[in-house]
Chain A
Amino acid sequence: MVQSDFSYNSKIEGEVIVTRADAVVNWVRSHSVWPMPMGLACCAIELMAAGGSRFDISRFGMEVMRFSPRQADCMIVSGTVTYKMAEVVRRIYDQMAEPKWVVAMGACASTGGMYRSYATLQGVDNIVPVDIYISGCPPRPEALLDGMMLLQEKIRNEGGSLKRTFRGRTVETKIVS
């Protein structure tokens, strides 16, 4: 939350904080991201490491991995998306409730990675809008944490709409609070 989101009056200390509803809602959302681990290949192993005690993603309020898309609001696509799996990824995305975010973790999810072949979708942003791309093959857990903190930053600063990349274009989605 940026400083201007608060105004703090020392005369009524401990009683009242004045802010905007948007800022509170975004602040709450950014600290309770519930990821849906779309683990499709080797990157998912790093995702699991990030969830473990050593890297401890729960320090940032996003440890509640939900395997049901209905209970999640951030899809972490970690791995190679084949054309056969693309349909499943899109359906799971459609089943998640708004507001929702997508993180493309690793080279494969971002661009198809080293798989220049007939079977591999060349970037998951061809089928779902993507908020954050994380480079690496695989990215280290720290890189994932960095990407997730960037996502938090993005959530905190969204003023009623989200900008994402979809099929090479920037698309904007309205958020209804």
Chain B
Amino acid sequence: MDAAALTLKFPRTQSLKSIDMPTFAVANDELTEIVRYLRDTQGFDLLADLCGVDWPYRSPRFGVVLHLLSTTNKEYVRLHAACDNDAVPSVTSVHPGANWHEREAYDMFGIKFTGHPDPRRILMWESYPYHPLRKEFPLAGIEVPLPAADVAAVTGQNVEPAPMMGGPFVSHGGHMSSAEPQALDQSWNEEKPKA
């Protein structure tokens, strides 16, 4: 990984502190070009992952993180691009495999990928009104109608918030045998309603 060459060619790129691999904050509008440059010039030919991130107290709030792997030099690099108006350029023109990753990031965070060939949701149904991995979205969900109106009419079923029974469930760490996931709030359960 030639970090100097990267920052020389794209001067707005900043190196970030990281414990595992070279990490850079890249300019939103340069993302596609940087990924192309890393693929063609530095051998980062495999897009290992692309995901969204939500920092509620940062501005801009959303960003995407890419992990690129060089199959010849056996090394990784991580790129972070902050969103501009909840949008980042799509990298599908460089790595076609980014297609479904970007659809997932759109589905879960509402990040728009400009230039994406098929910008649909991938996990939730198309008419779902929320983006469930945003920090303010409750894990239990929010009541909305079922996607199929006829099935909803026959069954009387809605998409309902799941019973959390004192959740969310977290592991407090420590030794495996004592790290059973527990509810953060133990003061209520199925029998004892929340005060």
Contact = CB atoms under 8 A, between A and B. Distances in A.
Contact of A120 (B156, B162, B164, B165): B162
A117 B146 contact: no
Contacts of A117: 139-141, 162
B55 interface: no
A174 interface: no
A127 B162 contact: no
B155 A167 contact: yes
Secondary structure call for the A interface: loop
Q: Secondary structure at chain B's binding surface: helix, strand, loop or mixed?
A: loop
A86 B148 CA distance: 9
Chain A contact residues (Cβ within 8 angstroms of B): what range? 10 to 19
A15 B97 CA distance: 71
B154 interface: yes
A110 to B, nearest CB: 14
Contacts of A42: none
B147 A84 contact: yes
B157 interface: yes
Given A116-B140, A118-B142, A119-B124, A83 B151 contact: no
Interface of A: 83-84, 86-87, 90-91, 112, 115-122, 126-127, 167
Interface of B: 123-125, 132, 137-142, 146-148, 151, 154-157, 159-165, 167
